[in-house]
Structure 1
Amino acid sequence: MSKKFFLLSLFLFALHSSALSQLITDSKTELQIEEGINLGSPYHTTLTFFYNLDKNHFFPKRAARTLDLQGNDSDPEELAIKLQQIFEGKGLVIRTSEVPNNANFADSTANGEHKFYFDQTKLPGIFLEKKGSQWKFSSFSVSQIQKLHKETYPYGSDKLLNILPKIGTDEYLGLQLWQLVGITFLIFLTFLAHLIFTFLVDKGLIYFLDRLGYGYIGENYLLPVAKITSFYLIVLMLSLLIRILQLPVEIYAWIIPVFDTLKPFLITVIFYKIVDVIAAYFASLAAKTESTLDDQLVPLIRKTLKALVILVGTLFILRDGLNLDILPFLTGISIGGVAIALAAQDTIKNFFGSIMIFIDKPFQVGDWVTSGEIDGTVEEVGFRSTRIRTFRNSVMYVPNGKIADAVVDNHGLRQYRRFFTTLTITYDTPPELIEEFVNGLHEIVLAHPMTRKDYFNIFFNNLSTYSQDVMFYIFFEVPTWPEELKARHEILIQIVKLAKTLGVRFAFPTQTLHMESFPEKSGLAPSYPSQDEYKTRLNQFVSNELTKKTK
C-alpha cells in the first residue's frame, strides 16, 4: 500500500512540476508581449521594431532589443532610430503580411540560411538573422546603419532631423507643425532656386557668351543644356531635403520613385542636348576642310551618339527609377544580339563598310566614281548604303559592304584630266605645213590657262588609210567635269581656227578617182604656198588669237 502511495505521489509531483514549468514559460511569453517584445520569428521581430518606434507609443529602448549589438559600442536606441529613418528615407514600405511568420524560416536564395532580407535592391545590407531562438537584425546590418544613414541624408542634412522637430509637434491636417513649416519652406526654396537659375542662365551665361562673340552658340546650343541642368539641380535638391520632413512612409513610397526616375531622365536629356553641341563643333571643323565626306560624317555621329544616350539613359531609368534588375535584360540583349547578328550579317557588313569608307576616304560627296556597273556622282554616304547619281539622272543605292570590297576608280581625285584625240589631215598636205600645224598646236596648249604645261605630247605619228594623223595628248588641271568640258571646247575651237588660218584640211573616209589632167583643165589637188608663208600665217594666228586669249 505504501509503495502504491509513493508512486502516486511521485507522479503527482512530476505532473505538478511540468505544469509549473509550462506556467512559468507562458508567463514569460505573456510578459514579453506585454512589454512589446517578441523575437520568435521574422514577423514578430519586424512588428516589435516598428511598433515601438511609432510616434504614438515611442519606446526606442524596446526597439533596440531587435538589434544584434555584438561588437558594436554605439548607443542602441540611437541606432534603432537611425535604422527607422533609413527605412523611411528610402521610401521602403514594410508590409508585415509579407514577412514570414515562421520561427525556422530559411531563405532559399541565401543557401538555405536562417535569414530574411527586406529589400535587396534598396537595402541589400539590412536583414534579420536567427541567433538561437531569436530573430534580430544581424550584427552586419547594425554595423552598416551609420554608413547607410549618411548616404540617405548626405551633406549634413541628418542634423536637421533633430533640429526641425523643435519648431513644434502639434498636429494639423495629419502632419506635425514642423513638417508643415518644412513643406512651405521647400515650396518657397523651389521657386527661389528656379528664379536664381533662370537669372544666371538667361542673363549671366548669354551676356558672357555675347561678350566673347559666341552669342549664337549660347542661345541655340548651350542655353537648352543650361535650362535642363537647372531643373536637374532643383530635383536633386528636393530629393535630398524631402527626406528630412519624415513624412509617412506611404508618401515616400511614391515620392522617392518619382525623384529617382526624374534624375536619370533629366541627365539623359542633358546629354542628349550636349550631343547637339558636340555635333555643332564637329560641323565647324568639317567646314574648314576641303573634303565633303566630313560633312556627311557629322550627321551620322550625331544620330549614333543620340541613340547611345537614349539607350544608356533608358537602362538607368529602369534601374534607378523603376528598381528593375537590368542584368537579366543585358544578358538577354547579349544572347539576342548573337541571334540578330547572325540574321543581319549583311547589315553589319554594310555598317562596317561605311566605317571603312569614312576612315579610308576613297571618295567624297561630289566625286565621279566608277566600279563595275557603278558609274556616277556620289551624293550621300549613309550607314548602310551610298547614294550615287548616274549620268542618266537615276539614283543608285549601293551597299557600303559592296563598295568596301570593290575596286573603285575615283575620277574626282584626279589632279589632271586627260584629253586625247587624233587630228586627221589630208594626204596632200605638205610636210612643211604639217610641221607648222604641230607648232601651232603647241602654242595653243601653252597659251591656255587650264592645261598642264610640263607634260603633253603632240606629234605627227601615223599614216593611216585615208589620212595623216597627228596625236594630240594633253591634260587639263580642273576640279570638275563641266570645267573640263569647257576647257575642251576652248581648245578645239582654237584648233579649228588654226587649221583655217594655215589652210589645213581635215581628212575623212573618202574615195578619190584619179584621172589624167588635161591642158585645158586644172587638177583637183589644192596648191600650197611656200614654207615662209606658213610661218607668216602662224605668227599672225598666235598674235591675233592666242595673245588675245591670254590677255
Structure 2
Amino acid sequence: MFKKQFLFVWFFSLITSVAFGQLITEQDDLREISEEVNLSSPYHTTLSFFHNLEETNFHPDKASKTLNLKGVDPAKGNQMSIKLKQILEGKGIIIRTSDIPNENNYRDTSSNSDQIFYFDKQKIPGVFLEKVGNQWKFSAFTVGQINNLHRETYPYSTAKLLDLLPKIGNQEYFGFHLWQLIGFLILIFLVFLSHALFTFLVDKGLLYLLKRTGYGYIGENYLLPVARITSFYLIVLMLALFLPVLQLPTEIWAWIVVIINTLKPFLITVIFYKIVDVVAAYFSKLAERTESTLDDQLVPLIRKSLKAVVVVIGTLFVLKEGLDLDIIPFLTGLSIGGVAIALAAQDTIKNFFGSIMIFLDRPFQVGDWITSGDLDGTVEEVGFRSTRVRTFRNSVMYIPNGKIADATIDNHGLRQYRRFYSTITITYDTPPELINEFVKGLREIVISYPKTRKDAFHVYFNNLSSFSLDIMFYVFFEVPTWGEELECRHEVLIQIMKLAEALGVRFAFPTQTVHMETFPEKKSLSPEFDPDAKTYQAKLNQFLQQELKKKDN
C-alpha cells in the first residue's frame, strides 16, 4: 500500500514539475522577448510576433521585426504586422506555440528539407516562416501576400469596420469589449431585418405574381421552398462577412468558422435538392403532352438520380469545405473500390444498363400488355433495376431489366387491331342457298359494326366437319384495350345469334343422329327448307332492315 502511494505521489510530482517547468520556460521566453525580439527559432519568432501585438503589450514596431520586409517599405512594417494578425484571427487559425519547433536549424521534411515552417498548409499555405541568415522571419512571399489575404478575409471594404468599431469603447463586459457586444447586436438586427425583407419579397411579391399568372401551385410547392432555403443561405453569407470584424476570441471563432463553412455547402446542397423537384415538375408537364407513358415513368427515375448525385457531391463539399478533410484519398479509394464493387455487382450493373436500353429502345411502355415466356401481364412500372408487371391473376411479377433487355418480348399493347377468330358451326341439313345468305349476313354485320376493320376480314364457309358445317369468322377490332375487345366480341356474337334466329339457321354441336322411317301420321324431325333461294334472300333483307331501324332509333 505504501509503495502505491509513493508511486502516485512521485508520478503527480513529475507531471507537476514538467508543467511548471514549461510554464517557467514560457515566462522566461516572454521576459526575454519583452526586452529584445528573439528570432532564433520558429517558436521564438512566433512568440515574439503575437506577444508584441497583445492589447496589454502593443508594440507593432517590435512585431514588424519578425517580417522579412525585403522589397517593402519599412515604414509599412507596423501596418503589415497588424494586418497579418487580423488575417490569422479572421480565418480562425489557432496557433499553439507548444507545437512549434524550437530549433534554430529546423527543416521541413515535407518540402525537400527546406528551412521553412508552415503554420497550416491547408488553410493558409501562403503564410510560413523561413530562415534568413541566422534568424527566422515571416517569409518575403508571406509579406507580399498580406494585402491580398487581408482583402480576401475582409471583403467588400469590411476592413474599415476594424478601425471604426473599437472607437465605440473598449470596456469589457462578460469577457467581451463593448464595441464587440454592440457590433454583435447590430449584426443580429441586420440578420432579422434582411430575413424579414426577403420573406416579404418572396411571399408577397413573387408568390403574388405567380398566382396572377396562373402558376400559384408551382410557386407554393416548388419555388417557395427554394426561396426560403436561399434566404437562410444569404443569412449565413452575411454572418461569414461581418463576424470576422468582431475579432472574437480565436478559440470561439475557430468553432464558428467550422460551423459557417459547413452550413454554406450544406445549404447549397439543400437548394439544389429542391431545384431538382422544380426541374422534375417541368419535365412532368412535358411528359403529359406526349402519348407515350414511358417518359412519365422516366421522370421519377431522373428525379431520384439527380437527387442522389446532388447528395453525393454536396456531402463531398461539406467534408472538404466544412470539416476541412482531404477528399482526394477518399475519391481515390472510391475509384479503386469501384472496380471491386463493379465485379461484385455485375448483375446490378447489367440491370441498370438494361433499364437504360428499355428507355432508349422503348419496346413497351407503362400500360402495355406484354408476353415473354412465362411472363404475361400489364406493365405497371419500369425501374432502374426491375420492371413490375401485373399479371391477369392480379399478382405482381418483378423481372430484372437485364433479362428483359435480352428476351424476346411480344408487345400486345402496340397492336393497332385486335384479332378475333371463331368457327361458326351449323347443322348438316342447312341447304347451300341458306348458307350463302347466312354468310352474306355475317359480312354485313362486320361492315356495319363501327369498331371493326373494314379492309381486312374473312367470312367463308370453309370446312365440312364430322358433325357440322364450319364457317370461318376472322375479323379485327380497332380498340386499344382487352376490355373493349371483349365488349366488341359480345356485341358481334349477339348480332350473329340474332341473324341465325331470323334466317332459321341452327347451330351444330357434337351429336349422333339416328334416321328412322317417316310414318304417315308422324312429321319428320328434319326441318323443311324452301327450295327457292329468293325466300331466304327476302328474310335476310328483312333482318338487315330491322337492324338498321334499331340503329337509327
TM-score (ref. length: structure 2): 0.90
> What corresponds to 2:39 in structure 1?
39
Matches within 5 A, 1:362-511: 362-511=363-512
C-alpha distance in 2 between matches for 1:269 and 1:353: 31
Gaps of 5+ in 1: 1-28
Shift of 1:510: 3.1
Structure 1 stretch displaced more, 116-125 or 519-528: 519-528
Shift of 1:416: 0.6
Aligned to 2:62, what secondary structure does the other structure show? helix
CA contact (8 A) 1:447 1:546 kept: no
> What corresponds to 1:3 in structure 2?
none
What's the % identity of the aligned pairs? Answer: 68
Shift of 1:430: 2.0
Aligned to 2:424, what secondary structure does the other structure show? strand
C-alpha distance in 2 between matches for 1:98 and 1:431: 115
Aligned to 2:118, what secondary structure does the other structure show? strand
C-alpha distance in 2 between matches for 1:409 and 1:547: 42
1:318 maps to 2:319: yes
Shift of 1:199: 1.4
> What corresponds to 2:71 in structure 1?
71
C-alpha distance in 1 between matches for 2:468 and 2:383: 52
Structure 1 stretch displaced more, 93-102 or 272-281: 272-281
Change (3 A) 1:311 1:466: same
C-alpha distance in 2 between matches for 1:124 and 1:437: 99
CA contact (8 A) 1:456 1:473 kept: yes
> What corresponds to 2:539 in structure 1?
537
AA paired with 1:163? L
Change (3 A) 1:244 1:255: same
C-alpha distance in 2 between matches for 1:250 and 1:85: 15
AA paired with 1:38? N
Structure 1 stretch displaced more, 509-518 or 465-474: 509-518
C-alpha distance in 2 between matches for 1:499 and 1:44: 117
Aligned to 1:475, what secondary structure does the other structure show? strand
Matches within 5 A, 1:55-454: 55-73=55-73, 75-454=76-455
CA contact (8 A) 2:66 2:136 kept: yes
C-alpha distance in 2 between matches for 1:510 and 1:425: 12
CA contact (8 A) 1:125 1:140 kept: yes
> What corresponds to 1:7 in structure 2?
none
Shift of 1:163: 2.6
AA paired with 1:274? I
CA contact (8 A) 2:456 2:475 kept: yes
C-alpha distance in 2 between matches for 1:225 and 1:170: 43
C-alpha distance in 1 between matches for 2:30 and 2:358: 83
C-alpha distance in 2 between matches for 1:427 and 1:279: 67
Aligned to 1:91, what secondary structure does the other structure show? coil
C-alpha distance in 1 between matches for 2:236 and 2:416: 60
Shift of 1:258: 1.2
Structure 1 stretch displaced more, 79-88 or 33-42: 33-42
> What corresponds to 1:20 in structure 2?
none
CA contact (8 A) 1:350 1:400 kept: yes
1:46-76 CA deviation, whole Å, 9 max, x = no partner? Answer: 1121112212212222222222233345822
C-alpha distance in 1 between matches for 2:176 and 2:31: 34
C-alpha distance in 2 between matches for 1:107 and 1:540: 113
Shift of 1:423: 1.6
CA contact (8 A) 1:36 1:52 kept: no
Structure 1 stretch displaced more, 447-456 or 352-361: 352-361
Aligned to 2:336, what secondary structure does the other structure show? helix
1:263-310 CA deviation, whole Å, 9 max, x = no partner? Answer: 112112212222222222222222333333233222222222222222
C-alpha distance in 2 between matches for 1:113 and 1:550: 105
C-alpha distance in 1 between matches for 2:252 and 2:59: 24
C-alpha distance in 1 between matches for 2:31 and 2:167: 35
Structure 1 stretch displaced more, 180-189 or 421-430: 421-430
Aligned to 2:325, what secondary structure does the other structure show? coil
Shift of 1:400: 1.1
C-alpha distance in 2 between matches for 1:180 and 1:303: 47
Structure 1 stretch displaced more, 380-389 or 298-307: 298-307
Shift of 1:233: 0.5
C-alpha distance in 1 between matches for 2:300 and 2:311: 17
CA contact (8 A) 2:33 2:48 kept: no
Structure 1 stretch displaced more, 296-305 or 88-97: 296-305
Gaps of 5+ in 2: 1-28
Structure 1 stretch displaced more, 494-503 or 86-95: 494-503
AA paired with 2:391? T
> What corresponds to 1:23 in structure 2?
none
Structure 1 stretch displaced more, 131-140 or 416-425: 131-140
AA paired with 2:510? P
CA contact (8 A) 2:423 2:472 kept: yes
AA paired with 1:53? L
CA contact (8 A) 2:423 2:473 kept: yes
Structure 1 stretch displaced more, 115-124 or 460-469: 460-469
CA contact (8 A) 1:447 1:550 kept: no
Change (3 A) 1:89 1:33: closer
CA contact (8 A) 1:424 1:468 kept: yes
Aligned to 1:144, what secondary structure does the other structure show? helix
C-alpha distance in 2 between matches for 1:550 and 1:303: 55
Structure 1 stretch displaced more, 537-546 or 464-473: 464-473
C-alpha distance in 2 between matches for 1:532 and 1:213: 70
C-alpha distance in 2 between matches for 1:297 and 1:33: 71
CA contact (8 A) 2:30 2:51 kept: no
Shift of 1:325: 1.0
C-alpha distance in 2 between matches for 1:221 and 1:58: 56
Shift of 1:32: 7.8
1:548 maps to 2:550: yes
Shift of 1:441: 0.9
C-alpha distance in 1 between matches for 2:339 and 2:72: 51
Shift of 1:133: 1.9
Change (3 A) 1:519 1:174: closer
Aligned to 2:130, what secondary structure does the other structure show? strand
Change (3 A) 1:462 1:362: same
Structure 1 stretch displaced more, 86-95 or 190-199: 190-199
Aligned to 2:389, what secondary structure does the other structure show? strand
> What corresponds to 2:10 in structure 1?
none
AA paired with 2:291? E
